[in-house]
């Protein structure tokens, strides 16, 4: 049996309002900012909330190096982390293609896609379905904050109908 042909993936700019059902956009634009350390540093305060569930939960701070993806891209699976939020922020100005669906049972009709600017990251709400890291144009390094500890914290699901991104904005 042949796999179904991919459907086109519609991609929107990443904004706080559009991404709100899936988590938080991490960016300095619109953030509360104030000087610290005798005025030598600006603190952009409370950009995302780390949320953890389960026994022995602890916050992990990681550095991920993602390979570059170039169109055409096929989206064939999504994953979720039921026990904790997961934040990605580029350290080297990399852009991401962000493919998400709301928490709960995966509803492929509710999949959305966003493209980030070089100074934007995301914090996926606990249980939000998302594609693994998709760096655009060049390999990228990302600061990743997520959950460590006991318990199963990664579910993967193949899509019934793959999606295709032929051109990226």
Encode pLDDT of 52-88 as tens digits: 999 899 999 999 999 998 888 999 999 999 999 999 9
3-state secondary structure of 17: helix
3-state secondary structure of 11: strand
pLDDT averaged over every residue in the chain: 92
Cα–Cα nearest to 60, from 153, 136, 128: 153
Instruction: Enter the pTM of the model.
Output: 0.89
- C-beta atoms surrounding 95 within 10 Å: 20
**E-strand stretches of the chain:** 7-8, 11-13, 23-26, 32-36, 41-45, 58-66, 68-69, 73-80, 86-90, 95-101, 112-115, 121-124, 129-130, 135-136, 140-148, 155-165
At residue 1, the pLDDT reads 65
* Domains of the chain (ranges, CATH numbers): 7-165 (2.60.120.480)
Whose structure tokens read 């006991």? 150
Per-residue DSSP letter, 3: P
Q: Extract the tokens encoding 156.
A: 């993967």
Residues written for the chain: 169
Reported as a single tens digit per residue, the pLDDT across 82-96 is: 999 999 999 998 899
Reported as a single tens digit per residue, the pLDDT across 14-48 is: 999 999 999 999 999 998 999 889 888 899 998 99
Res. 113 pLDDT band, cuts 50 70 90: very high
Per-residue pLDDT, averaged over 133-151, amounts to: 92
CB 126 within 8 A of CB 43: no
At residue 166, the pLDDT reads 77
């Amino acid at each position: 049996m042949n796999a179904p042909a991919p459907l086109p993936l519609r991609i929107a700019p990443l904004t706080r309002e559009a991404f709100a059902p899936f988590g938080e956009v991490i960016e300095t634009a619109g953030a509360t900012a104030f000087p610290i350390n005798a005025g030598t540093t600006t603190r952009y305060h409370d950009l995302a909330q780390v949320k953890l569930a389960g026994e022995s939960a602890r916050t992990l701070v990681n550095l991920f190096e993602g390979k570059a993806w170039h169109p055409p891209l096929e989206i064939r699976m999504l994953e979720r982390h039921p026990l904790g939020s997961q934040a990605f922020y580029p350290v080297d100005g990399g852009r991401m293609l962000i493919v998400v669906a709301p928490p709960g049972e995966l509803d492929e009709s509710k999949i959305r896609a966003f493209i980030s600017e070089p100074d934007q990251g995301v914090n996926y709400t606990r249980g939000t379905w998302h594609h693994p890291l998709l760096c655009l144009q060049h390999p990228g390094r990302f600061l990743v904050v997520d959950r460590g500890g006991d318990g199963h914290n990664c579910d993967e699901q193949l899509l019934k109908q793959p999606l295709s991104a032929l051109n990226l904005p």
